[in-house]
């Protein structure tokens, strides 16, 4: 069962496996937050449909995935997100991920090979600082500096 809501600009999808939130703190910045198990591709598909629409509206986007609460990044979800991100690459300035799980880190590292590098954060403070810097920057000028 899938529940969906939009409150103060934050889109939230909830399933028995987890919860995905997505918001745009600036027109050129997308933040996702996932908690739980990214077991199937359903939530990944919903995230990518939304991201694709947002990326089409801006010349260069900065995308931040707060996946510190993600327990599993299953192959089906990772493959879907990676394959759909490849054609978006020319419109993405940066794509950064905060992780807490070694399993999630490994999945993101595999996606990074196909996408040409994904900065990884293991510190919430550094990740949130990077989001603030991207929000305050002009589109296409933010450069991530993770301290993993």
Q: Tell me the pLDDT tens digit for each residue of 10-41.
A: 999 998 888 999 999 999 999 999 998 887 68
Q: Tell me the pLDDT tens digit for each residue of 41-62.
A: 888 898 999 999 999 988 899 9
**Residue 102, domain member (yes or no):** yes
**Residue 128, domain member (yes or no):** no
**Residue 108, domain member (yes or no):** yes
CA distance 8 to 88: 26
Strand 18-26 and strand 29-38: the pairing is: antiparallel
Report how many domains make up the chain: 1
> Range of 38's domain?
15-123
| CATH number of 46's domain | 3.30.750.24
Dihedral angle of Cα 116, 34, 61, 26, to the nearest 10 degrees: -160
pTM: 0.92
């Amino acid at each position: 069962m899938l529940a969906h809501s939009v409150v103060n600009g934050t889109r939230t999808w909830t399933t028995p496996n987890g919860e995905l939130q997505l918001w745009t703190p600036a027109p050129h910045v997308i933040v996702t937050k996932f908690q739980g198990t990214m077991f199937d591709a359903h939530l990944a598909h919903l995230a990518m449909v939304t991201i694709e629409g947002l990326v089409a509206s801006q010349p260069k986007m900065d995308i931040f995935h707060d996946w510190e609460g993600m327990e599993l990044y299953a192959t089906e979800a990772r493959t879907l997100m990676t394959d759909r991100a490849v054609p978006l690459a020319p419109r993405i300035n940066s794509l950064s991920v905060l992780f807490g799980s070694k399993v999630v880190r490994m999945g993101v590292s595999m996606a990074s090979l196909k996408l040409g590098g994904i900065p990884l954060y293991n510190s919430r403070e550094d990740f949130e600082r990077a989001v603030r810097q991207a929000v305050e920057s002009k589109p296409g000028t933010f450069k991530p500096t993770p301290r993993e």
